[in-house]
Chain A
Amino acid sequence: MIKIDLQLFVTLSKYRPEKNEFLEIQEGTSVGKLILDLGIPKDLVKLIFVNGKRQKTTYQLKNNDRLGLFPPVGGG
């Protein structure tokens, strides 16, 4: 198991499984699988950031990664 720092922004915050800062997951879990496991509708995630850099759903998470998921924001 590895620990990641998961940040779910705006409307995604309700999908957070626990209040702890770190989330325990299986090593090698892809971002796409984690999104699925958390029950987040795929079209609600528009931006994926790992350690401050944009990544795709295929990115395999590593220990201590800082993952941020952001929904589509388009208002003016």
Chain B
Amino acid sequence: MKTSLFKERYDRNFNTLSCEEQKKLGISKVIIVGLGGLGGSVCEMLARVGIGHLTLIDGDVFEPSNLNRQLLCQENLMGFPKAQAAKDRVKAINSEVMVIHLEEYLDESNLYDRIKDGDVIMDCLDSIDTRFKLQTAAQNASIPIVSGAIAGVAGQLTTIYPGDKGYELIYGKKGGNQSKGIETRTGNIAYCAFFVAALQSSECLKVLLDRGDILRNKLLIAELWTNTFEIMDLV
């Protein structure tokens, strides 16, 4: 980006972010896995804040039940691939961002290959089983994961580094879990999805910039009916 446009585009990021930090974000690679309620909003925020390289992964297409909470979902996009919509949105916001979009679901056969070049992985998945698989691949590739999960107006957030126990501390032993949590009963409300996505985006910057308090081996829990916001020690 030309220097003048760089300064204008990110003018309101300064001096919360320094020029050096902004440039570091510009060469950072973030993988967003899942482009639904969390991932769509994370995508929007990371594009605006200036992450230079985004890999956007989701094999799903939009359907009417996504309209209540998924930022990228519009009435005219029914049946449209979420990954393509995410790419279009990023390019409309910030054409300087290098985008790879993958219209596919991830499993053991392709996970490592798709995520191995990232600096940070954003886990925005809706399956507990796949979260465990993602953690295995991320740890093999030595990449930290910023993980968000939502149900109704409740959410949780943690950051998992290579070598950490991660999801085992939250969901129990791998394989001993239901694939879904209570969100199958509570649904998900838009403002909670946006809220947890915002926390995830913040955590992503902290990891990339090695700044602030990172939720390693900690779980932030939020419940919006009661305005409960707590950080729990997982170890």
Contacts and interface: CB of A to CB of B under 8 A. Distances in A.
Interface string A3-43: 00001011100000000000000000000000000000001
Given A10-B151, A10-B154, A46-B172, A72 B178 contact: yes
Nearest to B179: A74
A75 B231 contact: no
A10 B232 contact: no
B118 interface: no
A47 to B, nearest CB: 7
B149 A68 contact: no
Contacts of A54: 169, 219, 232-235
Given A11-B185, A46-B172, A47-B219, A73 B230 contact: no
A74 B219 contact: no
Contact of B171 (A44, A46, A53, A76): A46
Contact of B181 (A52, A53, A73): A73
Interface residues of A, number: 20
A68 B222 CA distance: 12
A7 B124 CA distance: 27
A11 B149 contact: no
A1 to B, nearest CB: 26
B92 interface: no
Interface in B137-155: 148-152, 154-155
A9 B223 contact: yes
A74 B151 contact: yes
A72 to B, nearest CB: 4
Interface residues of B, number: 44
Interface string A38-76: 000001101101001110000000000000101111111
A10 B154 CA distance: 7
Nearest to B235: A54
A49 B155 CA distance: 16
Interface in B85-111: none
A44 B151 CA distance: 13
Given A9-B154, A46-B171, A74 B127 contact: yes
A60 to B, nearest CB: 19
Nearest to A44: B182
Contact of B39 (A7, A49, A76): A76
Interface stretch (B8-16, B30-38, B45-53, B207-215): B30-38
A70 B172 CA distance: 13
B180 A76 contact: no
B221 interface: yes
Interface in B112-163: 123-128, 131, 148-152, 154-156
Interface of A: 7, 9-11, 43-44, 46-47, 49, 52-54, 68, 70-76
